[in-house]
Amino acid sequence: MEVIRTPKAMQQRALELKREGCVIGFVPTMGFLHEGHLSLMRLARARCDVLVASIFVNPAQFGPTEDLDAYPRSFERDEALCEREGVDIVFYPDAGNMYADDASVWVDEESLSGVLCGVAREGHFRGVCTVVAKLFNLVQPGLAVFGEKDAQQLRIIERMVRDLNFPVDIIRGPIIREPDGLAMSSRNKYLSGRQREDALCLRKSLDQAEELFGLGERDAKVLRQAMADLIDPVPGAEIEYIEIVDDASLAAVDGINGVVLAALAVRFGATRLIDNAMLHV
């Protein structure tokens, strides 16, 4: 397994592979890998000749009060997991190599990014789109895999690929959960024992929405309230949002007719967790 540290070297290697006729599969990550990331690598591995995973904690997607410095990192552990999953190349740059000191060009999505997580995390998706566009230019993938847990991010990347004509097939990877239902996330390590237990209310609230939907409830307000009623009594939980939105436009809906996304963000102390479930008639 190769480890490449600079953008120039990564792009040169990718162009060599493309000249050889290789299909490059790509899984971008911020490291501190868990089973959710590894499941994405397996999806890509089955569809490509050469698998590239990036490990880069992207400063451009963190706000001034967010957890950039504290974000968990363990490259040696991540490297071993990538090798175990059959990754051929790990791209592991640092911020100084990825962004010029006077960088002034950004990729900004102006529709899907203004709701859900985009309300509280101003500039976050500009940072995401910019770094993913840069990574696509460096890695030259024919396909890339993104997880459904970050549902808004996934749909924004799909829109960016469509609107900017990137020759990349985007593959959706399902949410991977702990045995008790908590969606896997690198940020779960921040939770205390009590917060970890409290965080199970996210999955329980989505289960409640799915159950009511299965019984025929189509009023989004009723589903949102049912979800809130399960989370509000949890002492350490602070709801940032609970929304029922159209799966394609991410616009809030009143009644469910088609495919929608039940999405929520909840804070437990300083730790912000997200989760979602798709509902469709």
Q: For residues 270 and 190, is the Cβ–Cβ distance under 8 A?
A: yes
What is the amino acid identity at position 36?
A: G
Q: Which of 34, 37, 124, 280 is catalytic?
A: 37
Alpha-carbon gap, residue 60 to 226, rounded angstroms: 36
How many beta carbons lie within 10 A of that of residue 156, not counting itself?
23
Residue 280 appears among annotated catalytic residues: no
- For 174, half-sphere exposure in the C-beta direction (CA atoms, 13 angstrom radius) is 3
246/57 Cα distance (integer angstroms): 30
Q: Take residue 145 and report the two structure tokens written for it.
A: 């895999």
Q: Tokens representing 88? A: 């051929």
- Cα 269 from Cα 238, distance rounded (Å): 8
Active site residues: 37
